[in-house]
Amino acid sequence: MKRIQILGTGCPKCRLLMANVETAVKSAGVEAQIEKVEKIVDIMKFGVMSTPALVVDGVVKCVGKVLSPDDICALLQKE
């Protein structure tokens, strides 16, 4: 099971990334635990200074942009 975290304070881009992750996980048939990290202190622990950010299994994969569901699917299938 993958652990996917979306780092962001709740802005529209963060919410869109969350929706895209949910869509990608469903279409890829990947078993995943999806978590939203909104506290600035917790986000900074990842070394991320720009949101939204996508973290898969503890590794930051994308910072400062919203990946499409297709991009996220490709990223998850590479893992």
Question: How far apart, in Å, are the Cα atoms of 8 and each of 44, 65, 79?
Answer: 11, 11, 23
- Give per-residue pLDDT as tens, 16-69: 999 999 999 999 888 999 999 999 999 999 999 999 999 999 999 999 999 999
- Number of Cβ within 10 Å of residue 24's Cβ equals 23
Q: How many Cα atoms occupy the beta-carbon half-sphere of 77 within 13 Å?
A: 11
Residue numbers annotated as active site? 11, 14
User: Sheet of 32-37: strands edge to edge?
Assistant: 32-37, 2-7, 53-56, 59-63
pLDDT higher than threshold 70 for residue 78: yes
**Given 3.40.50.300, 3.40.30.10, 3.40.50.620, 3.40.50.11610, which CATH number is that of 2-78?**
3.40.30.10
Domain limits, the chain: 2-78
Query: How do residues 54-64 score in pLDDT, each as one tens digit?
Result: 999 999 999 99
Of 11, 2, 20, nearest to 40 by C-alpha is: 11
Token couple for 60: 């930051």
